[in-house]
Each structure stands twice: as C-alpha cells, then as structure tokens.
Structure 1
C-alpha cells in the first residue's frame, strides 16, 4: 500500500479572540486526511472556512492545537523550530499569491536562492532547466520589475521545481492573475504533480479546483465533501450544498 506524503489525524486549531477576553475561536475542527504521492489536491470553501489555515498546518508553517500531522514520516508537533525549517527545506515547496521574489535579483538568481540559503549545491544547468520548464529561460537575466505578474509567478514555480521537493503547497496561486495567465500557471502546477511529488492548492477558482485529482470542500473548519476528478460545475454544486457562496 502506498504511504501518504502527508497524514493528518483529528486536526484541531483555534485562534485567540479578537478582544482581550473571551473563548478561543475554532478554525479547524477535527480534520483527518491523506495526501498521496503524485496526486494534486485542491481545497475549496468560503472565506473563513479554514482553507489557508489547514494548508499552513499541513506544511508546518502554523502550529496546531491537537491532533497529528505527519509529513514525509515526521510528526510535525514534536519538532522544534529549527527541525521544522530543515524539514521544509528538504521536502516542501511553496507558491503564494504574492510571488515573494527578491526585487534586486534576476530570475535566475531568485530560482537559485533557496538552494544557496540551504547550502545545497545546485548547478546552473538545474536552474536553467527549471526556468526552461516554465518557459522563461529567455528572461533569466531579468529582474522581477521587468516581468509581468504571470511571469513572476512562473519564476516562483521554477524556484520550487529547482529544489525538487516532495510536496508543493500553493495558496491562491492565480489570485492576482488574469484568466489566461492563471490557466498557464495551473497547467504548470498540474504537471508538477507527478511520480512521487504531490501538489496541494488552496483556491477560490472553480476551474483551478477542478484540475485536481481530488477536491476537499471545507465548511466551518471540517471537510464537508470530497470529490474525485470533478468538473467545475460539480465543485460549485458541492460548495452550494455546503451552504457556501462560491
């Protein structure tokens, strides 16, 4: 039986109250899930349903209150800050809506930066291959300010691909992009989920959600529904059934 890259069991998370007093606010209410090697999983739901919080807890960016998350066989709740950072550098890649590129560095230098920070040897051929994979080898010497939003997001994806992580987490990766450019970015993420690498995407975009192998529909911090290779219409109907507004 295939071992999951991520296994979450009865995951709970709360946030402090907005004021100085009052009970903590529940965000995740007992989520259990597996992410298998090679699959793409989309997480959808209304604002406040816990989508991004779930992604951050699964990736080790956010601590959880109770339950268990195992990433690449390691229990995140038992790891200190340094060990968590090391685990993320080794196994995890992130793609965010804001790109997170260094303005003063070229596309090639931005792609190479994580390996340099992790003190890993990554040759120029590997960096250029990642840029070529996202169609930007001819922009390798350009800084982010000389690139469009879609090109900057593709540089961010190339940065992830060059590190060859086991799992890629993407939080609203097309939120700042027009429809056509967003579709290009989604195709790259879809292609990244292959062999032993998995991709988890949080999105409000029904088209983005529907390219995944599975779609998890969240409502009030729990998994309300799970869809296998759905159409955008089926995703919309599942969200409506959950009492959400797409």
Structure 2
C-alpha cells in the first residue's frame, strides 16, 4: 500500500480551562490515523467530540500538544511558521463553510489568487476549465455578492481545485447550503478524491459522510468507531451510539 499523505500518531490536544487556575481541558486524547492518496475520509461525531480540532491539527492550522503528524511526507512538529505555510501552499487546499472569498474580486480572480500568491500563475484557460468543472461556466466575471451561497461554495472549491493540491481539508462545507446544493458540493469533493487527492471532511450531514471511503466516528477526543463505505443510516446509528456512550 502507498504511504499515507496524512498520518497522525497518538495525537493529543488540550485547551485552557475557563479559569486561570483550572486544569487544561483535553480535546484530542491519543488519536492515530492515516489517509492515503485517492481516499476520502469523513469525520463525524457528537457535538464537542473534537472533529474540527482534529482537522485543524492534521492540516497544521492548529498546534498540538504531543504526538506526531506527517503531512505529505513532512513532520509538522518541528516546522517553523514560514515552512509550515510553505508546505500548506504547496500541498494543501482548504474548503470552509464561510467560503472565504474576497468580495471585491470576481469569481475568476478569486480562483486565481492562491496561484498568484504562490507565484505559480494560472492561465485564463485553466481557470475557465475549473469553472466548468464546478458548473459555473459563464460566471467568471461575477463577484461573490452576485452569486448564491451554493455558487460561492463552488467558487471556493474551484479555487482549491485550480491549485491541484495533494490534500483537501473541508470543515462543514455544506453547513449553510440547502440539501440539493450541498449534495452537489460534496460530490465535487468526492470526484476530486477520485483524481488521486486525499480529502478529509468534517460534516454533520449523513449523506455527505456516506460518500466517503471511510467514516471516523469521534467521541470525547478518541476514534470511537470506523465505518467503510457506510449507508447514511449506519452513520446515524454510529453517531447515536457514540453520543449515548459519552
């Protein structure tokens, strides 16, 4: 089997307590996992189980207390801020619920921006091709305020796909979308995993989670169970069981 693009070993993370003298609160309590090229993994679980914190630690957006994370073959623990940012620019794409588009830029300009910042450049033809891939042909000149929520999320995904990253992290990418639009967005992410990328999605959407090759169910900062190619009802059952056992 190929080497995982993402690997975590005995990952721990705590947050400060509510008071100055209170003990730190454990969020991740020894998580180990691997995500291989071409694989889509969904992370689900009851509220407060550590889903988003795990995503941020795996992507290098959040420091962890102990354990180890390797991203695209590089250990994150000893990387300084500059090298960590360079690693993310080279290998990682992010899709979040808030879209993070720049209002004054057109869809085409938003898509081209990360490539410009990375000094790669992106041809107009390549950007138009990416717009076509996400179903936004003819919308390249529109600014975010002229697009629906679903269209803005498609621009956000196109911005990631245009960079051709090895790894895509998505945190609740359908949280503010209607069911039909959300399904379309998740299928775009599913297709991108089929092109050899690793895709890791945190979601509360059962249909979205079931699109993944594997579903990791978190409870109290630990992997409570793992499902392979599950049906939505199996995901619901696993989350319900994890919540009841918490």
TM-score (norm 1): 0.98
Give the aligned partner of residue 123 of structure 1: 123
Give the aligned partner of residue 31 of structure 2: 31
The answer to whether the 8 A contact 1:167-1:198 is kept is: yes
Once the two structures are TM-superposed, the CA of residue 244 in structure 1 deviates from its matched residue by 4.9
Once the two structures are TM-superposed, the CA of residue 46 in structure 1 deviates from its matched residue by 1.1
Unmatched tracts of structure 1, length 5 or more: none
Give the aligned partner of residue 148 of structure 1: 148
Where do 4+ consecutive residues of structure 1 move more than 6 Å?
Answer: none
Compare 100-109 and 234-243 and name the one that shifted more: 234-243
Give the Cα separation in 1 of the matches to 2:70 and 2:172: 23
Give the aligned partner of residue 206 of structure 1: 206
1:138 and 2:138 are equivalent in the alignment: yes
Compare 185-194 and 24-33 and name the one that shifted more: 185-194
Give the Cα separation in 2 of the matches to 1:104 and 1:2: 42
SS at match of 1:218: strand
Deviations 1:60-95 (Å, cap 9, x if unpaired)? 000000000000110001100000000000000000
Give the Cα separation in 2 of the matches to 1:237 and 1:85: 38
SS at match of 2:138: helix
Deviations 1:23-67 (Å, cap 9, x if unpaired)? 100000000000000010000001110000000000000000000
1:15 and 2:15 are equivalent in the alignment: yes
Unmatched tracts of structure 2, length 5 or more: none
Give the aligned partner of residue 190 of structure 1: 190
Give the Cα separation in 2 of the matches to 1:148 and 1:240: 33
Deviations 1:169-194 (Å, cap 9, x if unpaired)? 00000000001111110111111102
SS at match of 1:48: coil
The answer to whether the 8 A contact 1:46-1:244 is kept is: no
SS at match of 2:131: helix
Give the Cα separation in 2 of the matches to 1:36 and 1:108: 31
1:180 and 2:180 are equivalent in the alignment: yes
Give the Cα separation in 1 of the matches to 2:36 and 2:195: 10
Shift of the 57–141 alpha-carbon distance from structure 1 to 2, 3 Å rule, reads same
The answer to whether the 8 A contact 2:45-2:243 is kept is: no
Once the two structures are TM-superposed, the CA of residue 123 in structure 1 deviates from its matched residue by 1.2
Match runs of 1:1-246 below 5 Å: 1-244=1-244
The answer to whether the 8 A contact 1:45-1:244 is kept is: no
Give the Cα separation in 1 of the matches to 2:61 and 2:210: 26
